[in-house]
């Protein structure tokens, strides 16, 4: 088959690592199933992300990183991804995302007149790049939403957004509410688990209104790809099908599961790891099976000085081995250079590093997370429960000790607690965890009574995830069904093709 016979899919991620990474994994999956994938973002992001694709490109996968010209956004100063910005400037990334529509439309136009790949058959877009639906309509091709969070979370976010719009949010006392509108079963939530902006539409910023709108509009697309597996949340995968009336392909986990075969260099996944992989693995090898707790809060969340201090005290008190990835809040003036300052040590209790020497490994900056989670010595993950991290953890059999902070993280934490593979020990962005609750959570997961039960439940989920991506598994079957749709579309005339043909 030559390149022109391959269906050409265009992927449009939101400019944040928690979105770039699953889109890169998706691009690899689609390309290894015979599709051409154009992965469209901005120049600085192309430079940062291309390392993770080197192996895939050497293996002959047809993935094209496309750098659209960066539209000017006041205040961004060269930062093109949310992890490079301090919290107060992160909303600017939504402005950048919106402004990419125009250069994207121009690039799309060119795709129907160039000779190096077949014209696109569809756009696979991120929830926060909703304008891609209009672009797809313009070119008479389908728009497929790639949902980078889970089916349970997206069902809840949709229900909350719609309930607020229709004023039907059911309060359950002062502190909690019950979500039943457009839900397959009622779910009780504490108020702190839902972003405050949802409760006060007058005060919410345009970005928060925009995010709410994205959740309301999940049915605008032609179909949904979702980074989950059916067995994990069957009720909610089915619910999305019923709710939208569109095809829903649950194809996850999309991350490379078998690191020993063809995963490529996972220490460049997202960013170049700030630790030598060999050194890390040697350190992990020194510890017995399931004895180490891994601590990380995703690609951009940095703890405050007080929170870092509290966590350090809890880890020390637990007396268990740990690997802790510490991030610092970027400063806008140094953000584009990605400098990680070394004032982390000053956040830690005096003498902490010396006292935990040998028992604790600190990674300043970026960790090769999949390498850590797939190592046999890792027995628990202190995580903010971002969907990628949570899915990676349970699909590698590691129970989660959750400290959800915002967005969908509380919902993910709830899901894994319901499945018996996680517990929550702290809640919210601003909370300072108690030393005792950290110690209790860590010892419980690594040495305590609940250890076997949590491990068994996580192990069951791992087996389910592994089976889902095997040839006859649910995710592999959905992936084949999606690829087959793309082949059908490749033979269907687009509006541009129709016009060219009728003009000639
Ligand atoms: N990640 C990583 N190393 C780090 C921090 C994060 O590889 O030091 C990866 C992690 O494996 C996951 C992604 O970055 O794939 C983070 O996504 P998630 O949804 O967990 O959280 P977010 O960053 O969006 O809050």
Can you point out the beta strands (E) in 72-160?
Answer: 120-126, 143-147
C-alpha span between 204 and 342 (Å, rounded): 36
Spell out the domain ranges in the chain: 8-154+163-255+469-503, 270-465
Give average pLDDT by consecutive 10-residue segment, the chain, 504 residues: 77 97 97 97 96 91 96 88 88 93 97 86 96 97 97 94 79 84 92 77 65 82 98 98 97 83 75 94 97 97 94 98 90 51 77 95 95 97 98 98 95 97 93 96 93 96 97 97 96 56 51
**pTM for the structure as a whole:** 0.94
What pLDDT does 264 receive?
Answer: 63
Q: Is 126 a catalytic residue?
A: yes
What pLDDT does 209 receive?
Answer: 73
What's the gap in Å between 49 CA and the centre of ligand 1? 14
The one catalytic residue in 25, 62, 126, 478 is: 126
What's the gap in Å between 419 CA and the centre of ligand 1? 22
* Atom of ligand 1 lying closest to residue 369 CA: 7
Residue 359's Cβ-count burial label (10 Å; 0-12, 13-18, 19+) is middle
Is 8-154+163-255+469-503 assigned to CATH 3.40.50.1100?
no
What's the gap in Å between 369 CA and the centre of ligand 1? 8
C-alpha span between 350 and 343 (Å, rounded): 13
The one catalytic residue in 19, 239, 255, 384 is: 19
* Atom of ligand 1 lying closest to residue 365 CA: 8
* Residues at CB less than 6 angstroms from ligand 1: 17-18, 21, 269-270, 296, 298-301, 325, 366-367, 369, 386-389, 392
Torsion (CA) 268, 271, 274, 275 in degrees, nearest 10: -20
What pLDDT does 3 receive?
Answer: 46
C-alpha span between 295 and 182 (Å, rounded): 36
Pocket probe for ligand 1: among 389, 393, 416, 429, the residue whose CB has the most ligand atoms within 8 Å is 389
Do 8-154+163-255+469-503 and 270-465 show the same overall fold? yes
Is 270-465 assigned to CATH 3.40.50.720?
no
Segment 471-475 long-range contacts (CB within 8 Å, at least 24 positions apart): 473/229, 474/229, 474/230, 474/231, 474/250, 475/229, 475/230, 475/250, 475/251, 475/252, 475/253
Q: Is 202 a catalytic residue?
A: no
* Atom of ligand 1 lying closest to residue 390 CA: 20
Q: Whose CA is nearest to atom 17 of ligand 1?
A: 18
* Atom of ligand 1 lying closest to residue 392 CA: 11
């Amino acid at each position: 088959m030559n390149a022109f016979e391959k269906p050409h899919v265009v992927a449009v991620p939101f400019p944040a690592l928690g979105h770039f990474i699953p889109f890169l994994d998706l691009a690899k999956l689609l390309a290894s199933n015979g599709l051409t994938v154009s992965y469209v973002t901005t120049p600085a992001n192309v430079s940062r992300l291309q390392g993770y694709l080197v192996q895939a490109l050497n293996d002959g996968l047809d993935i094209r990183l496309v750098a659209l010209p960066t539209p000017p956004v006041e205040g961004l100063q060269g930062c093109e991804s949310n992890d490079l910005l301090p919290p107060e400037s992160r909303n600017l990334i939504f402005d950048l995302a919106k402004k990419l529509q125009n250069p994207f439309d121009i690039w799309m136009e060119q795709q129907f007149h160039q000779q190096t790949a077949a014209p696109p058959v569809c756009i696979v877009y991120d929830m926060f790049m909703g304008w891609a639906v209009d672009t797809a309509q313009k070119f008479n091709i389908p728009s497929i939403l790639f949902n980078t969070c889970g089916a349970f979370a997206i069902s809840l976010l949709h229900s909350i957004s719609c309930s607020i719009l229709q004023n039907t949010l059911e309060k359950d006392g002062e502190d909690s509410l019950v979500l039943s509108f457009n839900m397959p079963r009622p779910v009780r939530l504490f108020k702190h688990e839902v972003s405050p902006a949802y409760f006060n539409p007058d005060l919410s910023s345009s970005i928060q209104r925009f995010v709410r709108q994205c959740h309301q509009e999940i049915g605008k697309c032609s179909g949904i790809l979702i980074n989950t597996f059916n067995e994990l949340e069957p009720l909610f995968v089915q619910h999305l099908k019923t709710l939208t009336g569109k095809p829903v392909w649950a194809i996850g986990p999309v991350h490379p599961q078998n690191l020993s075969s063809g995963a490529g260099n996972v220490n460049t996944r997202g960013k170049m790891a700030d630790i030598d992989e060999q050194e890390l693995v040697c350190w992990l090898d020194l510890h017995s099976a399931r004895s180490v707790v891994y601590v990380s809060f995703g690609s951009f969340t940095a703890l405050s000085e007080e929170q870092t201090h509290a966590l350090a005290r809890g880890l020390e008190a637990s007396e268990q081995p740990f690997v802790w990835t510490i991030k610092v809040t970027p400063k806008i003036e140094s953000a584009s250079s990605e400098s990680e300052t070394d004032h982390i040590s000053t956040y830690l209790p005096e003498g902490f590093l010396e006292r935990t020497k040998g028992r604790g490994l600190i990674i300043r900056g970026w960790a090769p997370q999949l390498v850590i989670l797939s190592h046999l010595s890792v027995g628990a993950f202190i995580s903010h429960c971002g969907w990628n991290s949570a899915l990676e953890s349970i699909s590698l059999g590691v129970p989660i000790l959750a400290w959800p902070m915002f967005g969908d993280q509380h919902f993910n934490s709830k899901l894994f607690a319901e499945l018996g593979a996680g517990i929550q020990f702290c809640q919210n962005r601003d909370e300072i965890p108690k030393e005792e609750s950290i110690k209790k959570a860590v010892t419980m997961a690594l040495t305590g009574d609940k250890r076997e039960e949590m491990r068994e439940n996580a192990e069951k989920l791992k087996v389910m995830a592994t089976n889902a991506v095997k040839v006859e598994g649910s995710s592999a079957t959905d992936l084949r069904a999606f690829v087959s749709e793309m082949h059908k579309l490749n033979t269907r005339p687009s509006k541009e093709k129709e016009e060219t043909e009728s003009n000639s």
